[in-house]
Structure 1
Amino acid sequence: MALRYIRKIGDPILYKKAKPVDKIDKHILTILSDMAETMYNAEGVGLAANQIGILRRLVVIDVGEGLIELINPEVIYEEGEQIGPEGCLSVPNVTGEVKRPKKVKVKYLDRNGNQKEIDGEDLLARALTHEIDHLNGELFVNKVIRFLNDEEKTEAE
């Protein structure tokens, strides 16, 4: 495993749509492992492959319940709404309130190529939709309702 450089806002790759993974091979598994190590090192809760300069539909997430690896994730169901604070490893020192679904269901492939579904609620729903937005070339700052000041950021952590 290796730490990867996290691309920052303004980098053109962050605004491009990632391509589906056609074949899960050693290279893809290495990328997933590197993404997890990079996310944990940066103290994030999610990372999309675009953020390390790879235009493939790969996401890793850990909201405190263990690592989730998603290949070709796709939201297939949304319910309700929530507004809450978000930040992003590609947009350092910026936090804003974003409206997201309260619940989502996402279908994806695991590292063994098995079709799976995951139900996310609250923070997990937020993380799933945030990272899938990355795969579609969208950053959370484009969805911010209101940016938080330093005092509000501290309260949100």
Structure 2
Amino acid sequence: MEISTRFLKPIHRTSAKFKFAIACLIVTGVGLSTLIYQQRQQYERMNVLLSAIQSSNEFKHRATPKKSDADDKKQWGVFKAERSFPWPGIFEAMEDTAGNDIELLEFEPAKSSRLIILRGEAKDQAALIHFIAALSEKKQLKNVHLLHQQRIERERLITTSFEIKAEVR
């Protein structure tokens, strides 16, 4: 009876076509994976080369500062100091304090140190003292000092020449 059970088992038929198709798929998979690996290696080499080229170009195209650029920067600094100087407040203080007894002849601002120097003539000593006191009370100015005064005689006219220094707030 042994013979009869052997014939009852299913027969596995693996055809040559099926085995060939499996072999072709395996060979194709190995070939594609090798090709992908080679492409990846080439991509990494190109990235290294590209980064080396870019880093070398950065040094070549870096702008070197020129003397004219430094001069331009200096001029812009002067312009910025000029724009930030509180001109309206200073002129307002001068207009409010200078009366008919004071004649301002020269106004010299030092924008970097925020100082102003006023030169002019006063009718007399009392007018000059009143002018200095009035300037000292203005909120736009501080440390108002008389630097120089001199009595001037022109024909029959006697005036007092002065020079005042003040700091701008």
State the TM-score, normalized to the length of structure 2. Answer: 0.22
Larger Rg: 2
- Between Structure 1 and Structure 2, which shows a larger proportion of helix residues? 2
- Between Structure 1 and Structure 2, which shows a larger proportion of strand residues? 1
State the TM-score, normalized to the length of structure 1. Answer: 0.24
Q: Which has the higher contact order (CA 8 A, sep 6+)?
A: 1
